[in-house]
C-alpha cells in the first residue's frame, strides 16, 4: 500500500500578517490585532513576529502588552479581510489536490498522495506552496510534512516560521518523541497534568504507555489513552476531507450554532438583557436557517459582572424551530429562572446557542395546541428577510427591541461572528 503524503499548512501570525500586508507602513513593526477597550474586549487576538519578540502574548490585556512594548501598533480586527485571504490561500492549495481540510481560517491539511507524479516529491510540493503563498499573498506559512495528519500538524507547530518540517517514519523518534506531551494534538492542559502526575512528560513517553495505564489514568476502557498512544506512534488513519471550492470549506457535521458577546456595559436590567439576547438570537436563527436547520434545544450562558463567574442553562422545545422569537423567548426565560435581572446581579456577557439540530426538510409534527399555519407564515417571513439581508446587509431590517440600547444597536453580530475551528475529533 502506498504511503500517504500529507501536509499541514499554518499561516504565520495570520491576522497581524494580513494587516501588515494591507498597510505597508506597519510592516516589520510590532503590530497586534486587538479588541476595543471601550467595549471591554481589549485583549490581544493576534501579534506579529516583531510584537512577539518584544514579549507580547496572545490573550494578553492591551494595557499589559503596551507595557511590554511601548511602541506597539494596535489595529482592530477585520474579519472580512481574514476570510478573503483564507479563501485565496485555499485556492492555491486546491491547485495541487482536491483533498483540503480547513482547520480554522489559517490552517489546513492537504493530502497530495495522488499529486506526487505531477508535482514532484512531498517536500517539493510543500516548498512550492510556501513560495506561492509568499509571492502571491505576501504571507508566510509553516508546513509540516508527514504520512499522517497528527505528525503533519506537529511539524507545522514546531516550525519557527516560513519553513517545512518533515516528520517521516525514519525520523519521528528523533523529531517528535523528545517533544513535550502537550505538543501532541488532543492533549490539553488537564490531560498534560494527568500525564505528568504519572511521569509521562514527552510524546515518546505517551507512545509507550501500557493498556493498564490507559485504563487506570483515563477510566473506562482506556479508549482516550490508547488513542493518544496511537497518535504518538504516528498511527492516525483519519482521512483528509474533500474540499469543495464552491463553499471554500468542507462539510462538517454541524451539532450546534451559537453566538456570544461581552456587552459594552454591565447589563443591569431586564431591558438591557433583552436587547442583547435578541441580537444574539437573531444571529443564531439566521445562521440556522442558512444551514437549513431547526433546533430542538436552546441553551444560554451568562457571565456575572461581579466576579466573572458563569453558568449555562438549556431548555428542550416542544417542537423544533428556526424562528428568532422562539429562540429569544426561550433564552430570556432561562435567564429569568436562573437569577434576578437587576443591578445587584448584573451580567457582563451572554451566549445563546441552538443545539439538537434537525434538517428543515424533515417533517415536523404540529403541536396539538399550537397554530401550525402561523408558524409556517413566520418562517416564510424570516426567510424573506434573510434574502433582503443577503442583498443589502444584515442591518437593513431592524427589530425595535434591538434598538432599545444605543450602545449595542449598531452591532452586526452575525457579520462579526468568528467561526472557530472544529475539534480534531468529530
Residue 137 CA to residue 100 CA, distance in Å, equals 19
* 117 or 407, which is more confident: 117
Average pLDDT of the chain to the nearest whole number: 88
Name residues whose C-beta falls within 8 Å of residue 146's C-beta, 6 or more positions apart in sequence: 6, 8, 152, 154, 155, 166, 167, 168, 172, 234
157-172 pLDDT, tens digit per residue, is 999 889 999 999 999 9
9-48 pLDDT, tens digit per residue, is 999 999 999 999 999 999 999 999 987 766 655 778 899 9
Report pLDDT for 230: 96
- Out of 138-152, 284-298, 401-415, give the one with best mean pLDDT: 138-152
Domain locations along the chain: 256-416
How far CA 241 is from CA of 10, 121, 209, 250, 424, in Å, comes to 17, 21, 30, 7, 12
DSSP characters over 15-55: HHHHHHHH-GGGTTS-EEEE--GGGT--BEEEE-HHHHHTT
Q: Is 107 a catalytic residue?
A: yes
Residue 131 CA to residue 55 CA, distance in Å, equals 29
Look at residue 422 and tell me whether its pLDDT is greater than 80.
Answer: no
| Cell 399555519 -> residue | 373
Q: Is 367 annotated as a binding residue?
A: no
380-392 pLDDT, tens digit per residue, is 999 998 888 888 8
Find the mean pLDDT for residues 219-230: 90
DSSP characters over 96-165: T-S-EEESSSSEEEEE-GGGHHHH--HHHHHHHHHHHHHHHHS--EEEEEESSHHHHHHHHHH--SS-EE
* 411 or 8, which is more confident: 8
Q: Is 170 annotated as a binding residue?
A: no
Find the mean pLDDT for residues 149-153: 96
Percent of the chain with pLDDT over 70: 91
331-366 pLDDT, tens digit per residue, is 999 999 999 999 999 998 899 999 999 988 887 776
The DSSP secondary-structure symbol of 4 reads P
256-416: which CATH topology?
Dna Ligase; domain 1 (3.30.1490)
How far CA 64 is from CA of 57, 61, 73, 191, in Å, comes to 9, 5, 14, 29
Q: What nine digits make up the cell of 390?
A: 443577503
236-279 pLDDT, tens digit per residue, is 999 998 755 555 444 455 678 888 888 888 899 999 999 999 99
Query: Predicted confidence band at 143 (pLDDT cuts at 50, 70, 90)?
Result: very high
Report pLDDT for 398: 79
Catalytic residue chosen out of the listed positions 19, 101, 107, 382: 107
Report pLDDT for 420: 45
Report pLDDT for 254: 63
Query: Predicted confidence band at 176 (pLDDT cuts at 50, 70, 90)?
Result: very high
Amino acid at each position: 500500500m502506498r504511503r500517504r503524503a500529507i501536509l499541514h499548512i499554518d499561516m504565520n501570525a495570520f491576522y497581524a500578517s494580513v494587516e501588515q500586508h494591507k498597510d505597508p507602513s506597519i510592516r516589520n513593526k510590532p503590530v497586534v490585532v486587538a479588541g476595543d477597550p471601550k467595549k471591554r474586549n481589549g485583549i490581544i487576538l493576534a501579534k506579529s513576529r516583531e510584537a512577539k519578540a518584544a514579549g507580547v502574548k496572545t490573550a494578553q490585556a492591551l494595557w499589559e502588552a503596551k507595557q511590554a512594548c511601548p511602541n506597539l501598533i494596535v489595529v482592530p480586527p477585520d474579519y472580512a479581510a481574514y476570510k478573503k485571504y483564507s479563501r485565496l490561500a485555499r485556492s492555491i492549495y486546491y491547485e495541487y489536490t482536491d483533498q483540503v481540510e480547513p482547520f480554522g481560517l489559517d490552517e489546513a491539511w492537504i493530502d497530495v498522495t495522488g499529486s506526487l507524479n505531477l508535482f514532484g516529491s512531498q517536500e517539493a510540493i510543500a516548498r512550492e506552496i510556501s513560495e506561492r503563498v509568499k509571492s502571491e499573498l505576501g504571507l508566510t506559512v509553516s508546513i509540516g510534512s508527514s504520512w499522517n495528519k497528527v505528525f503533519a500538524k506537529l511539524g507545522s507547530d514546531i516550525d519557527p516560521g516560513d519553513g517545512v518540517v518533515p516528520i517521516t517514519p525514519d525520523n519521528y523518534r528523533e523529531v517528535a518523541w523528545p517533544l513535550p506531551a502537550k505538543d501532541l494534538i488532543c492533549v490539553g492542559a488537564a490531560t498534560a497534568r494527568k500525564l505528568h502526575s504519572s511521569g509521562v512528560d514527552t510524546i515518546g513517553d505517551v507512545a509507550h504507555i501500557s493498556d493498564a495505564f490507559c485504563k487506570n489514568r483515563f477510566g473506562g476502557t482506556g479508549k482516550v489513552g490508547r488513542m493518544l498512544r496511537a497518535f504518538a506512534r504516528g498511527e492516525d488513519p483519519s482521512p483528509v476531507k474533500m474540499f469543495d471550492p464552491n463553499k471554500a470549506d468542507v462539510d462538517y457535521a454541524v451539532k450546534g450554532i451559537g453566538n456570544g458577546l461581552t456587552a459594552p456595559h454591565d447589563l443591569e436590567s431586564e431591558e438591557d438583557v433583552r436587547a442583547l439576547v435578541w441580537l444574539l438570537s437573531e444571529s443564531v436563527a439566521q445562521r440556522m436557517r442558512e444551514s437549513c436547520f431547526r433546533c430542538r434545544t436552546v441553551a444560554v450562558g451568562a457571565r456575572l459582572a461581579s466576579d466573572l463567574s458563569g453558568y449555562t442553562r438549556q431548555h428542550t422545545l416542544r417542537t423544533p424551530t428556526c424562528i428568532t422569537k422562539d429562540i429569544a423567548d426561550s433564552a430570556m426565560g432561562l435567564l429569568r429562572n436562573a437569577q434576578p435581572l437587576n443591578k445587584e446581579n448584573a451580567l457582563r456577557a451572554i451566549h445563546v446557542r441552538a443545539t439538537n439540530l434537525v434538517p428543515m426538510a424533515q417533517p415536523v409534527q404540529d403541536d396539538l395546541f399550537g397554530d401550525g399555519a402561523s408558524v409556517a407564515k413566520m418562517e416564510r417571513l424570516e426567510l424573506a428577510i434573510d434574502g433582503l439581508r443577503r442583498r443589502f446587509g444584515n442591518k437593513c431590517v431592524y427589530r425595535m427591541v434591538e434598538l432599545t440600547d444605543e450602545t449595542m444597536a449598531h452591532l452586526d453580530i452575525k457579520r462579526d461572528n468568528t467561526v472557530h475551528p472544529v475539534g480534531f475529533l468529530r
